[in-house]
Amino acid sequence: MADKHNSAPATVSLAWLLANPLITAPIVSATSQNQLKTLFDAPQLELDQEDLELLNRASK
């Protein structure tokens, strides 16, 4: 999924959490500027319905 979106796995993971209406405030942390950038990229990453379904199935 990360390769498909040319993103870091953490970015995809956070974008997936942000797309879930049941999760109101995902808790994240960063210890470097690079990690912070990875997290800041998540709100701009648009996962389509197929992406979300695949990630939901993988999480079970």
Give the residue-averaged pLDDT of 19-27: 93
pLDDT band at 43 (very low <50, low <70, confident <90, very high): very high
Residue 6 DSSP one-character state? T
Considering the chain, what is the average pLDDT of its residues? 95
Within 10 angstroms of residue 5's Cβ, the number of other Cβ atoms is 16
Banded model confidence at residue 47, pLDDT cuts 50, 70, 90? very high
Q: For residues 39-44, give the mean pLDDT.
A: 95
Q: What are the backbone dihedrals phi and psi of residue 31, each rounded to the nearest 5 degrees, phi first?
A: -115, 5
Percent of the chain clearing pLDDT 70 (strictly above) = 100
